[in-house]
């Protein structure tokens, strides 16, 4: 809700005017016209390096591809191109380079299982536009079995490179409006990943996702580089839960050099290990969150070895955040409730944040979903928070929690250990820099813990 871009990609009346009941002939004609006006061009595979911090594994270095497939399209913004896409991907799997031509819209009205991909490059120069048929997608999207996550397509496999400078457009507006009317609407995520290994996703524009932009599950050694995210509702219904990346059951994931505008930031769900996030510019988000953890009774969540470096955070609710449900059933909203799960979050560093108009520069919340602090403290979370560092934070918060700029709220001292803050140079609009500190060792917190309890985001 914070940003207006004048250069939004839109789908012009010109391409829609080809939508006629006349059938294939006109679509084929539009396809060949388009093919003539957009000559074949193969994007060179971008060379990606992970700097200044290094990821857990070296970036994948895929071999040269030996075959090229151009994907056909009706290019009319109304006829399903999923069969063309699937056929090109099968044809070029194991060693091919698949080109989605520049200037062409690939309209996708069928859920695509892309977990078969192997040794393949997807060169997306044009646009993938997902159909706005919310009835179809709710019935046929892929279910991930976690927080009701579903997706338009499911991406998996080994040695997959996606790039090309093109756009994935989720047609989110119908979903923002539908969700406002019914919070149980199953909104697909734009990019659903399940079981992707040794792969790089880079140089893409992601627009108008109905929900999260990425849900990354069961991923190993995957890099996201130079991803540009934007989505703004044009109605009064806000684009909710449009997180940039949500990661789950994954290890060795790097997210870097990206811009997230009006998305909800980055969330790290358990179990999640060895993640690097660096050089992001974010506006209108919920910050870089670990959690929510401990949502499900009987589950043991692990989040370990996370490094977050060099984040420019504007107009957001949080900078760095850790959120853990308490050990008592709690409800954040009708479609988000939980509490009682155990586990640990260990060795997480938030290093170098620029804070601009953010509610809390730092929020450690072990009472997630429970606004009644007394109740939260009566039922301390069995999920421990250990070896956490916040350092080199600069900038200014919003007045929402003034005079506080941060909150460190643990449900018991026994379950929070070694939470360290240093070089925190963040002030509220009226110049105060207090923090609320509950059940934490204040001797290792370089903040003024005289702040009042003012609640959570
Ligand atoms: C933050 O929001 C304000 C008010 O909507 C807007 O003027 C400003 O450009 C935004 N800043 C960024 C960096 O997005
Ligand atoms: C939307 O999808 C449903 C279920 O697949 C289908 O019955 C309906 O015809 C579709 N609507 C449009 C406008 O294509
Ligand atoms: C991840 O892998 C596990 C184990 O193979 C599987 O049960 C699960 O369905 C996969 N996907 C997700 C989203 O967890
Ligand atoms: C921090 O990230 C910004 C992009 O947001 C980039 O321009 C800058 O070079 C990065 N700084 C370092 C030290 O990597
Ligand atoms: C903590 O995480 C960092 C990566 O952020 C890793 O380099 C380091 O080895 C981890 N420390 C331990 C004790 O595992
Ligand atoms: C989906 O949401 C409903 C309502 O919160 C919840 O009861 C159900 O367990 C959720 N399903 C999954 C798979 O998370
Ligand atoms: C918060 O919980 C405590 C302990 O159960 C209870 O006594 C108190 O009334 C609750 N406060 C509110 C505002 O609900
Ligand atoms: C800053 O604002 C807070 C509440 O908004 C107020 O309690 C405090 O006295 C103010 N401090 C200064 C220095 O103005």
Domains in the chain: ranges and CATH: 127-444 (2.160.20.10)
Ligand lying closest to the C-alpha of residue 155: 3
**What's the pLDDT score for residue 331?**
65
Average pLDDT over the chain, rounded to an integer: 87
Question: Are 304 and 338 a contacting pair, CB within 8 Å?
Answer: no
**336, 350, 241: which is closest to 285 by C-alpha?**
241
Cα(432) to centroid of ligand 8, in Å? 7
Question: Are 337 and 294 a contacting pair, CB within 8 Å?
Answer: no
- At 438, which helix (H) or strand (E)? strand 434-438
- Lining ligand 1 with CB less than 6 A are 2-3, 283, 314-315, 357
**What's the pLDDT score for residue 264?**
57
Q: How confident is the model at residue 314 (pLDDT cuts 50, 70, 90)?
A: very high
Question: Count of CB atoms within 10 A of residue 151's CB?
Answer: 28
Cα(206) to centroid of ligand 4, in Å? 21
From atom 5 of ligand 7, which residue's Cα is the shortest distance away?
Answer: 375
Rounded average pLDDT over 75-85:
96
Q: In degrees, to the nearest 5, what angle opens at C-alpha 101 toward C-alphas 213 and 95?
A: 80
Q: What digits encode the pLDDT tens for the residues 355-397?
A: 999 999 999 998 887 778 888 888 888 889 999 999 999 999 9
Q: What digits encode the pLDDT tens for the residues 122-162?
A: 999 999 999 999 999 999 999 998 879 999 999 999 999 99
Question: Count of CB atoms within 10 A of residue 218's CB?
Answer: 16
Cα(364) to centroid of ligand 5, in Å? 20
Q: How confident is the model at residue 199 (pLDDT cuts 50, 70, 90)?
A: very high
pTM for this one? 0.88
Cα(132) to centroid of ligand 2, in Å? 10
Rounded distance, CA 398 to CA 410, Å?
Answer: 23
- For residue 397, what are the CA distances in angstroms to 135, 168, 250, 426? 41, 33, 32, 7
Q: In degrees, to the nearest 5, what angle opens at C-alpha 241 toward C-alphas 237 and 243?
A: 130
Task: Note if 286 is an active site residue.
Answer: yes
Q: 246 CB less than 6 Å from ligand 3?
A: no
- The residue from 97, 119, 214, 286 that is catalytic is 286
Which of 438 and 285 is assigned the larger pLDDT?
438
């Amino acid at each position: 809700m914070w940003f207006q871009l004048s250069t939004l990609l839109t789908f012009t009346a010109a391409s829609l005017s080809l939508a006629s009941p006349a059938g294939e002939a006109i679509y084929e004609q539009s396809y060949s016209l388009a093919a003539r006006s957009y000559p074949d061009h193969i994007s060179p595979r971008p060379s990606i390096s992970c700097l200044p911090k290094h990821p857990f594994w070296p970036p994948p270095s895929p071999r040269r591809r030996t075959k090229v497939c151009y994907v056909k399209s009706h290019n009319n913004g109304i006829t399903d191109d999923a069969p063309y896409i699937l056929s090109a991907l099968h044809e070029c799997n194991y060693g091919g380079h698949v080109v989605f031509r520049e200037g062409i819209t690939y309209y996708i009205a069928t859920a695509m299982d892309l977990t078969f991909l192997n040794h393949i490059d997807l060169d997306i120069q044009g646009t993938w536009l997902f159909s706005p048929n919310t009835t179809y997608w709710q019935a046929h999207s892929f279910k991930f079995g976690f927080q009701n996550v579903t997706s338009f397509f499911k991406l998996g496999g080994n040695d997959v490179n996606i790039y090309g400078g093109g756009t994935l457009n989720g047609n989110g507006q119908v979903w923002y409006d539908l969700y406002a009317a019914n919070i149980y609407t199953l909104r697909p995520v734009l990019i659903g990943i399940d079981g992707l290994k040794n792969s790089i996703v880079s140089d893409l524009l992601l627009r108008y996702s109905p929900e999260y932009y990425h849900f990354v599950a069961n991923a190993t050694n995957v890099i996201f580089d130079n991803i540009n995210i934007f989505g703004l509702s044009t109605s009064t219904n806000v684009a909710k839960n449009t997180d940039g990346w949500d990661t789950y059951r994954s290890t060795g994931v790097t997210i870097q050099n990206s811009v997230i505008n009006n998305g909800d930031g980055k969330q790290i769900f358990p179990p999640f290990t060895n993640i690097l996030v660096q050089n992001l510019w974010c506006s209108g988000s919920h910050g870089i969150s670990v959690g929510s953890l401990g949502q499900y009774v009987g589950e043991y969540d692990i989040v370990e070895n996370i490094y977050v470096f060099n984040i420019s955070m504007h107009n957001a609710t949080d900078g760095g955040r850790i959120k853990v449900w308490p050990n008592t059933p709690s409800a954040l909203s009708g479609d988000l409730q939980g509490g009682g799960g155990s586990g640990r979050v260990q060795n997480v560093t938030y290093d170098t944040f620029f804070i601009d108009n953010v509610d809390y520069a730092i929020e450690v919340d072990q009472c997630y979903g429970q606004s009644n602090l007394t109740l939260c403290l009566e039922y301390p979370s069995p999920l421990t928070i250990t070896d956490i560092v916040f350092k080199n934070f600069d900038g200014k918060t919003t007045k929402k929690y003034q005079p506080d700029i941060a909150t460190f709220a643990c449900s018991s001292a026994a379950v929070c250990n070694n939470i360290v803050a240093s070089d925190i140079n963040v002030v509220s609009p009226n110049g105060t820099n207090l923090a609320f500190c509950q059940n934490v060792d204040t001797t290792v917190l370089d903040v003024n813990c005289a702040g009042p309890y003012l609640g959570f985001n």
